[in-house]
Every structure is written in structure tokens, then in C-alpha cells.
Amino acid sequence: MSFTGNFRYAILGANGSGKSTLLQVLAGNITPTNGQITYQENGQIIEPENFFKSICLCAPYLELIEEFTLLEIIEFHFKFKKYLPNTNLELLLEEINLQKFKNRSLKTFSSGMKQRVKVILALFSDTPVLLLDEPCTNLDQAGILWYQQMMEKWTKDRLVIISSNQTQEYEFCTHQIQISDFKEA
């Protein structure tokens, strides 16, 4: 996997077709049963154990620490990742539009609010690769519009890979990959 430039890929397929599994393999969370993955940036090989520094993964099955407040989860996340250049906590809170909830425990958030937190943490992380698995899960129409605006605004010059079967999550992608085209019969 080489990641330079502004490329947006959608991994498409029916439920249970392996989209999420493929994303987990790309992220290095699951070992492939066949073949291998080589990570490169600017022609330099990145060892698999160091690839986590280059990616941010957002998925509905990744849990937030619900005892944390919004501010605490943001501070915790950015102990491990850097903010994108020219961004900070104040801008993040402005973009997520949950300022009035910043001191509330995440366990009081709706599922849609939690998903917005996951998305904004990924988008504001200074990584060249964003892996998004069904990023609009639990988002209402306003949340989907917000997601689309955030993707347009914060994904320039990054490799974005989205696994989905919902058009509104990937319609801006420059490449679409049908997972069924690569499965053995």
C-alpha cells in the first residue's frame, strides 16, 4: 500500500462480503490468511509494526471510553496522534458542533453523537491515511450532510479508504472497488 496524493477509494459490497475485514487487514489489525501487505510512503518501506502512526481508523465497532467527557476523549486521543496542521481543540469543537456537551460524559451521548466524535477524531488526526468503515452509521440526515462537508474540508492530500454499501458515504470517492470482483468462487 503506497499512500501519497489525494486518493479516495470505496470498498463496496453486500453485508458480510468482507469489507470490514479487508479494512482491518489494511490497518494491520488482522493478519491476512494469504499474501502479504507492504506499506510504503514516498518509496520508503514502513514496517507493519510502525504503520499505526500513519493511519487513523474510524469504525462503528470501535468503542469510545464512555466514562470520559468529550474533552477528555479528545485529549486522550491526541496523546497518541498529532492534530492536523493548523487545527486545534477549539477548531475541532467548532467543527463537531458539540461545544455545549464538552464536559458531558460520553455515556450520555446518542449513538449519532458518538459516531460524530469518532469521525472528527479521525479527520483531525495528522495521518496520511484514513480508513473509514461505514462512517455514517447512526447518523441522521443532518449528520450525513455534516460528514460529507467534513470529508470535503479535511481529507485533502490524504489517502482515504471507505468500506461501505451506502452511496452517501462514498459518492465523492475517485475509485470504487467491488469486493466481489476479487473473491474466489
pLDDT digits (tens, 9 = 90+) for 11-61: 999 999 999 999 999 998 888 888 888 888 888 888 888 888 899 999 999
Residue 97 sits at φ, ψ, to 5 deg, of 60, 40
Q: How far apart are the first and last CA of the chain?
A: 25
Pair 173, 8: CB distance under 8 Å = yes
pLDDT at 91 over 60: yes
Give the whole-angstrom CA distance, residue 69 versus residue 61: 19
Q: Where are the domains of the chain?
A: 7-182
- Closest-CA residue to 135 (of 56, 25, 63, 59): 59
Please state the rounded mean pLDDT for residues 110-117.
Answer: 97
Write down the pLDDT at residue 70.
Answer: 98
Q: 7-182 has which fold?
A: Rossmann fold (3.40.50)
pLDDT at 176 over 90: yes
Mean pLDDT of the chain: 92
